[in-house]
Every structure is written in structure tokens, then in C-alpha cells.
Amino acid sequence: MAKMIRNKIEFNTGRYYFNFNLKSPIVVITGDSSIGKTLFFDKYAVECAALNDDKVVFINFLTQKSMIDAVMKLNDKIFVIDNADIIPGYDITFFNNKVNNNQYIIIGRSIFKYTRDTKSIATLQEYDKSKFRLFYPYRKEV
């Protein structure tokens, strides 16, 4: 079962600022092309590498299947998966049946392939020039 490891991701690259509140152990980030989803993936990977943050594992369509299978056996990690739609073999049953206590940030378009909980679906929102946050359209904010 997925679990919350971090409820916030915040970092500034000097040019871009990301301030994400994670409201579920599986967050699916969706949206049109060119809104910054892969930009977030790339910049967050650089940020985590600079900080030697070994809690976060990055996967995209360039990651070899054998490597994906190996890292998916890890526990207590945050998996950030970009272009999830074109990575074969991973769907809602995979993420919901894992017992390794990981958190997942899944970037893709086929949102219901990864979650049936609409409250975990988010879109990337540029609320000011080069400043991004997550917006959860199916959550009623208080």
C-alpha cells in the first residue's frame, strides 16, 4: 500500500520555483503538453542529485525495464514517474497492490490508469511567471 513520505515539495532553481502540496500517497499530475510537467521532473531530479536525496527515485521512458523492476522493489521511497503513459506494465493494479510503503508522483495523461481516486488527481498550475503549484480540481478546498 502506498504511504505518505513527504507532503510538500518546494525548491527554487533560480529561474523556476516549485511549491507542491502533496495530498495523497499517489498523486497523478496531468495536463496538456508544454505546461511544465517534464520541466518539473527534470528540475526536481537535478535538485535531488545536488542534495544527495536518496529518498527520491526518478523513472521515465528512457529508464530500462530491468532497472525499473529493480528499483520498484525498494521501500520507503518517493517515485517520480514522467511520461508514465508510455512505460509499459505499470497501471493502477501495480501501484495499489504494492506493499513496499512508497509514495508515487505519476506524470501522465491517462489518469484513470493509475488511480480511481479523483482526489489524487492534480494539474500543474503556473500561478505567477515561472512559479508552479499543484491544483487538485476534484478536491473541495477549505
CATH code where residue 58 lies? 3.40.50
Query: 92 lies in a domain?
Result: yes
| In a domain? residue 96 | yes
Q: What is the pLDDT along the chain (142 residues), one digit of tens a residue?
A: 678 899 999 999 999 999 999 998 889 998 888 889 999 999 999 999 999 999 999 998 888 888 888 887 888 999 999 987 777 666 555 655 555 688 989 898 776 666 667 888 999 999 999 999 999 999 886 5
Q: Does residue 2 belong to any structural domain of this protein?
A: no
Domain count, the chain: 1
C-alpha cell read off for 82: 514522467
Beta strand extents in the chain (DSSP E only): 8-12, 17-21, 26-30, 56-59, 78-81, 103-107, 121-128, 131-135
Backbone angles phi and psi of 120, in degrees to 5: -95, 5
What pLDDT shows up at residue 88? Answer: 65
Claim: this prediction has a pTM higher than 0.85: yes
Is 141 inside any structural domain? no
**Segments forming the whole domain that contains residue 122:** 8-135
The answer to the question of residue 1 being in a domain is no
In a domain, 54, yes or no: yes
**E strands present in 13-114:** 17-21, 26-30, 56-59, 78-81, 103-107
